[in-house]
Amino acid sequence: MASSLGKIFVVTSYGESHGKCIGVVIDGCPAGLEVNETDVQYEINRRKPAAEAGATARKEEDKIEILSGLFNGITTGAPISMLVRNKDVKSVEYEKTRFVPRPGHADYTSFIKYRGFNDYRGGGRFSGRITVGFVMAGAVAKLLLKKAGMEILTHTVQIGNIKSKNTSINKIRKNAEGNLVRCADIETSHKMAKAIQTAKEEGDSLGGIIEALALNVPVGLGEPVFDTLEGEIAKAIFAIPAVKGIEFGTGFKSVEKKGSENNDPFDIEDNRIITTSNNAGGILGGISNGMPIVVRVAIKPTPSISKTQKSIEMQRLTKANLSIKGRHDACIVPRAVPVVESMVAIVLADFALRAGIFTGVIK
Amino acid sequence: MASSLGKIFVVTSYGESHGKCIGVVIDGCPAGLEVNETDVQYEINRRKPAAEAGATARKEEDKIEILSGLFNGITTGAPISMLVRNKDVKSVEYEKTRFVPRPGHADYTSFIKYRGFNDYRGGGRFSGRITVGFVMAGAVAKLLLKKAGMEILTHTVQIGNIKSKNTSINKIRKNAEGNLVRCADIETSHKMAKAIQTAKEEGDSLGGIIEALALNVPVGLGEPVFDTLEGEIAKAIFAIPAVKGIEFGTGFKSVEKKGSENNDPFDIEDNRIITTSNNAGGILGGISNGMPIVVRVAIKPTPSISKTQKSIEMQRLTKANLSIKGRHDACIVPRAVPVVESMVAIVLADFALRAGIFTGVIK
Amino acid sequence: MASSLGKIFVVTSYGESHGKCIGVVIDGCPAGLEVNETDVQYEINRRKPAAEAGATARKEEDKIEILSGLFNGITTGAPISMLVRNKDVKSVEYEKTRFVPRPGHADYTSFIKYRGFNDYRGGGRFSGRITVGFVMAGAVAKLLLKKAGMEILTHTVQIGNIKSKNTSINKIRKNAEGNLVRCADIETSHKMAKAIQTAKEEGDSLGGIIEALALNVPVGLGEPVFDTLEGEIAKAIFAIPAVKGIEFGTGFKSVEKKGSENNDPFDIEDNRIITTSNNAGGILGGISNGMPIVVRVAIKPTPSISKTQKSIEMQRLTKANLSIKGRHDACIVPRAVPVVESMVAIVLADFALRAGIFTGVIK
Amino acid sequence: MASSLGKIFVVTSYGESHGKCIGVVIDGCPAGLEVNETDVQYEINRRKPAAEAGATARKEEDKIEILSGLFNGITTGAPISMLVRNKDVKSVEYEKTRFVPRPGHADYTSFIKYRGFNDYRGGGRFSGRITVGFVMAGAVAKLLLKKAGMEILTHTVQIGNIKSKNTSINKIRKNAEGNLVRCADIETSHKMAKAIQTAKEEGDSLGGIIEALALNVPVGLGEPVFDTLEGEIAKAIFAIPAVKGIEFGTGFKSVEKKGSENNDPFDIEDNRIITTSNNAGGILGGISNGMPIVVRVAIKPTPSISKTQKSIEMQRLTKANLSIKGRHDACIVPRAVPVVESMVAIVLADFALRAGIFTGVIK
């Protein structure tokens, strides 16, 4: 396993779905940053299942514990260790299907890679629950970015085949957190919620697309040729289970444009260099250009569904049918919004530290 | 800059578009691998501009020199250093527009990040020419993967809005290298070539989508939670200039499927576990599952166009018009095919070494 | 801070002397290794202060908690998270001298580096107490090495100016753990214990030299040119507070030998290649040669002494006298023995994994 | 192999003794640093064999070529690639003894590790010649450190059993480069030179101790707990062939002092915090404290001697006698002086960049 991410702001993840806890160690955070437990808890709460909209029925208190790295509520420069205990764990059901891998899950690949020693309960290390650790780290990263005026807005732009209308930054800031599916376009949000409800009733699931916008990112973040801003964000995002695609700016659609349409013209505004469009999604040559960074992430439909599926028995190599019981989200997209936001924040924090932009910012 | 990629199979890139050479150092390649200069040269030749189809008129001999790491044509375990000299370099034109950044290029971001000290000639370190080094490393990686029976097929699936028809692995293997645009669907390839020609005549450019398939990849490559197979491939791919999106398997389209449609059922074939569809693109939980790995990469239209564009003068902060002369590809997609293939090969080689699969394979 | 060590077997440390706990995350340990809590607890107990011999009076239960990475007592391939709670903490005394750095300690350098935000209580992150985490990781590393037949013996060879007589491997194995100072030469051990007692009574402290021998290490561990076996062991060892020197084999004394005396002749024994002497300390060209790896580590006298010392007040820049109260070891050398052993084990485990020697060893 | 060193200032080494060249790639050097080819060539010339004092008779022009990373003589932020061609290579002699490893050399360990594929000619990748690359990188690092006022002085303090008298910084600066053995104590330097001459005549060799002092290093360099200043310097130094020990400040001798003697009292001088002694060698808690950093490095006697030695034939497992012909230094210590200096410079440059001290220093 490789459970550490980042070069200067280094996030180390541990924990399993049905183990004692999910934890994270954040190394390299500068000294002098105020971190309130409530700031971190707020983000963890954002990740919790909502009361509706097809989210999992698993109930967890998810109360964070900060074990190290803070002194009187301020970072000391030492690694920050945080964890959340797992409480509401029912593992018995997983025993029955231990050797029958769930389609679309890591059950088969982890069984082979770890020679049967993997903790299979609830997906173990491959459960979406491990993203609790990502969100704790992201909460700290966001506090750090805030010191330099950066902000990340994240919202759901598509659920199944229901697409959000183009929305302004203000609308996203105002509306996205106010509805169950985290869509900034309120009318569409209702349709999305309904579609999720329908999928749930059918024992099926839906995927979607999440968009993150990073605002006020200074020019110069990113370390080409290999540690590009896109590349590191992508690597971090693919650590989220169920992600199958990522694009920046106009992304896959830029393919159908001509160069003369896709190039963003430069201009001067308030004595600053800007571009008058943002097809590049705020990144040129792997380096931030000062415009909003725009990332879109494709989340596949949740593989855990109650409909009967075809699988096999891995030890006997025989066919087997599988119907997944347990508690599962019919659509994880809304809950993945703060997770995507966290990964973007973690990567930006790392690049900001590599570029030395906090020198003198944090006193 | 961060110019090294990989954990065990480590590729270090150097060189600039109009400097003396483009070079690469490959560290961590196991001893005992036969590497013929012609194998590497073959891949470099694949990357060269074709006679037609809108590719750049810059003529380079691009003859590789191997400086270290081989003894009697076999790897020794020591770092392999290779370079290609730059020959046909005309830098004068770049002087004129030194402070007028080309839209869609890294001119502006690199000027700011490196405080004006960047080598701006021909894009310097941000030119597509640096991918010569990637291809040399990819050539070695492919020889290594071949020892374990792995193969990568790469082809153009879209140019502008012209899409290749679904093609079989056999067709890709047979047709893709046989036409100017590297499209396995020959009829479509003609349309693509024509579209590129038209764009060229208009002083404009086109983008496209490249697909790579990695075959016979054993189950178990990838190191979650952070070094996932998708994440590391994505990071490597975004080092290629002009890439703006990446997806695996059904990718962004999986979003519109239901879980019951998108999950790949498991089955038994010839005493092996397979999936009967491959929406996952050969990867579950960040780990290869033995099915073909399917990657699709969005390449934006080449930013260098001869049409007049709006820019600014960076020192005086005034508006400026820019018309790019010089030699530029109207569409780099066909030439990027071996580059995408190289990055996939480099990442797979690194993961294969991390998983220890060459133990006993290379004697 | 940089709190992770290793490339494949990655140890991440966190915690402070007077914080909630000392913890460690071990990533990259292969699946399938049996780890009993008692094995780890045994090593932690070795590190505890002894009843005598000048060791600190701080009493800690030091009971380990394993938070992740094990399933039914066997490693799963997931990161292993372990911690020990801090219990017997008296921080008040440190408040008084917050701005008066203790000579020989990190108080001054950490105050400057972390701009006064460091947790100064008990040395915070720079306390010897953080080595609890190293020992937990070392315990797991030793279990892993044992699977491949490797063993590490560690003993005290010098305290102050009292030197152990040359001792055989059998004597070290038999005697070292049986006395308060961990010296394999029993007669000398008494003298050492007495010298420590005298230093304690004088309000002073002693240093010493620890020797570790790694036995049955296969030929081939080490990754030159930069990740040499000596270099990585040295780096790991210098993470132990108070270490000021390290040597391998004949080390500094080899300087006074001629090449003809210092070169170890090769010979054949039981159809194996050996050397008839071991001035090289088991390492040639940064790679293990199959002979015992011999490391010697110089530990400076404990800087915490009750004698009055000259210091300064860092904020007012005035002179100040300092007399350190609190509980401190007059000689930490005996307690550092399992810590040195742990660091050697951690590095060997990492190199053994890099060399792939556990393939097939752990089923 | 692991051929890259450093986290931000990353040095990648390649080349073999009897291959085409020795090269280095330096990544992460800030843009805006003037690098004259003559500055680098000067350091390479320091490393060349002297006319006397037992140094090797191999004659190499050792002219550096800079391949990338500079534009108009100033760093661009892109990787700096440099090499020196190997010219005076006689490999025939090595063929005869290919399977008879030289005692004290890496012949045996590299043969096993690389399964016989290693380039054995002249020690291949394990030759002292690879340090040419280290010195090129060190030359750039020194130019960078100079911008922040740092200086490194390096000199020979012992050859065989002949020890230099304690010398002042001024004497080192004035005398060390002025004699064949690089000893700041001129009288002793003659004795050392003579001893080397005698050893040479006897077909034998001598080792020695090199001391480096880094001056004007700001407080705060080093990244504990694992990337300590001592630990990273040690790791870098052990990449130099023949190094068998390293110590900082009073080092191994501190063991015989009491805490009250070894602790360096703090004091105020010119409104700066200093210590009135420097037993710590400028490092407390793994972090520089503003006093001179003092490193001492033990170099074993050159293993290549013409005296007949006992070895074995590795393929047939039979005993064999070996007398090394070829050209070899009877004592490499004087030539290793600039190499030790280079490694210290490389590590300090990396830590200085990690601490952000060049922000605003290089315009």
- Per-residue 3-state assignment (H helix, E strand, C coil) for A13-45: EEECCCCCEEEEEEECCCCCCECCHHHHHHHHH
pTM more than 0.95: yes
Which of B13, B35, B71, B98 to probe the D interface (max D CBs under 10 A)? B71
Interface of B with C (CB under 8 A): 7-8, 354, 356, 359
Mean pLDDT of chain D: 94
- The rounded percent of chain B whose pLDDT value lies above 90 is 89
Query: B104, A285: Cβ pair inside 8 Å?
Result: no
Alpha helices, DSSP H, located in B4-130: 37-47, 92-96, 107-113
Residue D212 lies in a domain: yes
* Residue-wise pLDDT tens digits, A27-45: 999 999 999 999 999 999 9
8 Å CB contact of D204 and C260: yes
CB contact under 8 A, C356 and B356: yes
**How deeply is B186 buried, as exposed, middle or buried, from its count of CB atoms within 10 A (0-12, 13-18, 19+)?**
middle
- Give the integer Cα–Cα distance in Å for D131 and D139: 12
Interface test with B, best of C4, C223, C351, C361 (most B CBs within 10 A): C223
Strands C266-269 and C272-275: antiparallel
Q: How many residues does chain B have?
A: 363
Question: Residue B284: its chain A contacts at CB < 8 A?
Answer: 104-106, 108-109
> Which pLDDT score is estimated for C30?
97
Give DSSP secondary structure letters for D55-116: ---------EEEEESEETTEE-SSPEEEEEE--S---HHHHHTTTSPPTTSSHHHHHHHTTT
Q: At what angle do helices A333-354 and A229-237 cross, to 10 degrees?
A: 140
Question: H or E stretch including D26?
Answer: strand D21-27
Residues of D with CB under 8 A from a CB of A: 7-8, 354, 356, 359
Q: Which of A233, A249, A245 is nearest to A349 (CA)?
A: A233
- Could you tell me which chain D residue has the CA closest to the CA of B75? D117
Q: Which of D4, D226, D265 sits opposite C2 (nearest CB)?
A: D226
Contact between C196 and C159 (Cβ < 8 Å): yes
- Confirm whether B362 is domain-assigned: no
Q: Domain total for chain D?
A: 1
Region D27-56: what's the mean pLDDT? 86
Supply the pLDDT for residue D358: 85
Give how far D285 is from chain A: nearest CA, Å: 13
What gap in Å lies between CA A294 and CA A272, rounded to an integer? 20
Q: Does the distance separating the beta carbons of A25 and C25 come in below 8 Å?
A: yes
Task: Average the pLDDT over B23-50 and give the result.
Answer: 95
- Predicted local confidence at residue C61, as pLDDT: 84
- Measured between beta carbons, the chain A residues lying within 8 angstroms of D356 are 356, 359
How many beta-carbon pairs under 8 angstroms link C with D? 359
Instruction: Encode pLDDT of D128-171 as tens digits.
Output: 999 999 999 999 999 999 999 999 999 999 999 999 997 899 99
Nearest to A184 by CA among A163, A208, A199: A163
Q: In the numeric block, which tokens belong to residue D72?
A: 């108009």
Q: Which CATH number characterizes residue B43's domain?
A: 3.60.150.10
**Interchain contact, A76 vs C117, CB within 8 Å:** yes
Residue in D7, D354, D359 closest to A359 by CB: D359
Instruction: Compute the mean pLDDT over every residue in chain B, rounded to the nearest whole number.
Output: 94
Question: Which residues have a Cβ under 8 Å from the Cβ of C362 and sit 6 or more positions away?
Answer: C30, C31, C32, C33, C144, C147
**Residues of A with Cβ-Cβ distance to C110 under 8 angstroms:** 77
Cα–Cα nearest to B4, from D5, D223, D346? D5
DSSP B243-292: EEEEEETTGGGGGGSBHHHHS--EEEETTEEEESS-TTTTEETTEE-SSP
Given a contact as 3+ CB pairs under 8 Å, which chains touch B?
A: A, C, D
Which chain B positions have a beta carbon within 8 Å of C356's beta carbon? 356, 359
The reported pLDDT for the residue numbered D60 is 56
Cis previous bond, B225, omega within 30: yes
| pLDDT score recorded for residue D95 | 79
Structural domain boundaries enclosing D249: 4-354
**Of C2, C15, C77, which is closest to A1 when you measure between CB atoms?**
C77
pLDDT value of residue B318: 96
Confirm if C104 and D259 have CB atoms less than 8 A apart.
Answer: yes
Question: Which chains would you list as touching D if contact means 3+ CB atom pairs under 8 Å?
Answer: A, B, C
Q: Per the CB < 8 Å rule, is A13 touching B224? A: no
A115 vs C contacts (CB less than 8 Å): 31-32, 363
Domain contains C218: yes
Nearest CA-CA partner of C2 in D222, A4, B5, D238: D222
Mean pLDDT value of segment A48-63: 66
| Confidence tier at C60 by pLDDT (50, 70, 90) | low
Among C289, C293, C266, which residue's Cα sits nearest to residue D314? C266
Q: Which residues of B touch A342 (CB under 8 A)?
A: none
Q: What is the mean pLDDT of residues A137-152?
A: 98
Does the pLDDT at position B197 exceed 90?
Answer: yes
With 0-12 CB in 10 A as exposed, 13-18 as middle and 19+ as buried, what is B274? middle
pLDDT at B363 over 60: no
Distance CA A208, CA A297 (A): 8
Chain C residues near residue D207 by CB distance under 8 angstroms: 254-257, 262
pLDDT band of A59, cuts 50, 70, 90: low
pLDDT digits (tens, 9 = 90+) for B223-274: 999 999 999 999 999 999 999 999 999 999 999 999 999 999 999 999 999 9
Is the pLDDT at A53 greater than 80? The verdict is no
Q: How far is B325 from chain D (nearest CA, A)?
A: 23
Query: Which among A322-336, B54-68, C140-154, D36-50 has the top mean pLDDT?
Result: C140-154
Chain B residue numbers touching D110 (CB-CB < 8 A): 77
The reply to whether residue D71 touches residue B12, judged by beta carbons under 8 angstroms, is no
Question: To probe the interface with B, which of A226, A264, A277, A278 has the most B CB atoms within 10 Å?
Answer: A226
Residue-wise pLDDT tens digits, D89-133: 676 777 778 999 999 999 999 999 999 999 999 999 999 999 999
The Cα of A8 is separated from the nearest Cα of chain C by a number of Å equal to 8
pLDDT at position B61 is 84
Whether C287 has a pLDDT exceeding 50, the answer reads: yes
Q: Which residues of B touch C359 (CB under 8 A)?
A: 356, 359
* Residues paired with C85 in a beta bridge: C21
Domain membership of residue C350 (yes or no) is yes
- Is residue A185 within 8 A of residue A254, CB to CB? The reply is no
pLDDT at A318 over 80: yes
State which H helix or E strand residue B153 sits in.
strand B151-159
> Domain for residue A360, yes or no?
no
ipTM attached to this prediction: 0.97
The answer to whether B40 and B84 have CB atoms below 8 angstroms apart is no
Contact call for A239 and B106, based on CB within 8 A = no
Tell me if D208 is assigned to some domain.
yes
CB of D290 within 8 A of CB of D281? no
In total, chain C counts a number of residues equal to 363
Residue C168 lies in a domain: yes
Interface probe for C, chosen from A5, A72, A117, A120 (most Cβ of C below 10 Å), is A117
A77 to C14: CB separation less than 8 angstroms, yes or no: no
For residue C51, what pLDDT is reported? Answer: 56
Task: Using CB atoms within 10 Å of the CB of residue C194, give its burial: 0 to 12 exposed, 13 to 18 middle, 19+ buried.
Answer: middle
**DSSP notation for A296-308:** EEEEPPPS--SS-
What pLDDT is attached to residue D53? 47
Whether residue A359 is predicted with pLDDT greater than 80 in this model: the reply is: no
**Mean pLDDT in residue range D6-34:** 97
A354:D8 CB<8 A: yes
Task: Give the span between the Cα atoms of A295 and A282, in whole angstroms.
Answer: 9
3-state class (DSSP) for residue A276: coil
C177 pLDDT more than 60: yes
In the predicted model, what is the mean pLDDT of chain C? 94
Is residue D157 in some structural domain?
Answer: yes
Q: What is the pLDDT averaged over residues C200-224? A: 97
* Tokens linked to B357: 């699969």
Structure confidence by residue, pLDDT tens digits, A83-135: 999 986 677 777 878 999 999 999 999 999 999 999 999 999 999 999 999 99
Phi, psi (deg, nearest 5) at residue A104 = 80, -5
Distance from CA of A343 to the nearest CA of C (A): 20
| Banded model confidence at residue D55, pLDDT cuts 50, 70, 90 | low
